[in-house]
Structure 1
């Protein structure tokens, strides 16, 4: 029976199989993100899990449809590279603990660099406030 399509199945086809697998891996989104290095350059944290920043202003971001709310966020300038990001302030009334020019610790929001829920464009959250 002749193998017209598909992978080689011969006893000495190991190198060919390995090379094909290596080429096809680039179609995998996660592999490409990890190995190209462009995602790391675009990441404001530069590969770190947390980052410190200075609060520039408090902002209210409108929730996406069908929800109607103003999500309390802060505009933060990171200390390590000067990039400005928006960070969500979680829990009820916690925006009252944050003032402008405070130093805050920022972490990711939990979806590997994507915005969460109904808050558009916000990929980070405040985890600690130090005056």
Structure 2
């Protein structure tokens, strides 16, 4: 390795080469090149309109139908599938309701648990907390 007075260029070249091998640096460079796109466009939450309710089957070794909703985001028009968490939460979500979506809690912005491709969950319906609706502390507002 060159260590002389005028060796800065060669040292920068070597540093650049090794930097490309770092996994975090790979993600950062892909994001700069717009190859790795986040559907929420960097924000932690987004509002959307419910298009339909659907059941997603859990993958092996679990079994069961997880209650999910298909949502179209207001800010960019993209569609995604979001989980209606906890018991009986799907009853409070109807088609054409406005919902607030946040990340589902999986590692590296991925799916959580036994659901393929479901990376988001519903936290509010028509500006009412889904948890409060579920517990019966609030009533659903008609829009």
Do these two structures clear the TM 0.5 threshold for a shared fold by scoring above it? Answer: yes
The answer to whether residue 73 in structure 2 is matched with residue 61 in structure 1 is no
Q: Please give the per-residue CA displacement for 1:29-58, whole angstroms capped at 9, x wherever unaligned.
A: 221212332355x21111111110000011
- Equivalent residue in structure 1 for 2:10, among 16, 20, 26: 16
TM-score using structure 2 length: 0.77
- Equivalent residue in structure 1 for 2:73, among 78, 83, 92: 78
Partner residue, 1:127: 123
* Residues in 2 aligned to 1:87 and 1:33: alpha-carbon distance in whole angstroms: 25
CA deviation after TM superposition for structure 1 residue 11, in Å: 5.1
Partner residue, 2:19: 25
Partner residue, 1:96: 91
Secondary structure in structure 1 of the residue aligned to 2:108: coil
* Residues in 2 aligned to 1:120 and 1:63: alpha-carbon distance in whole angstroms: 8
How many pairs does the alignment contain? 123
Structure number with higher relative contact order (C-alpha < 8 Å, ≥ 6 residues apart): 1
Which stretch shifts more, 25-34 or 76-85?
25-34
Secondary structure in structure 1 of the residue aligned to 2:75: coil
* Residues in 2 aligned to 1:117 and 1:21: alpha-carbon distance in whole angstroms: 38
* Residues in 2 aligned to 1:43 and 1:90: alpha-carbon distance in whole angstroms: 22
Structure 2: 5+ residue runs without aligned partners?
A: 127-142
TM-score using structure 1 length: 0.83
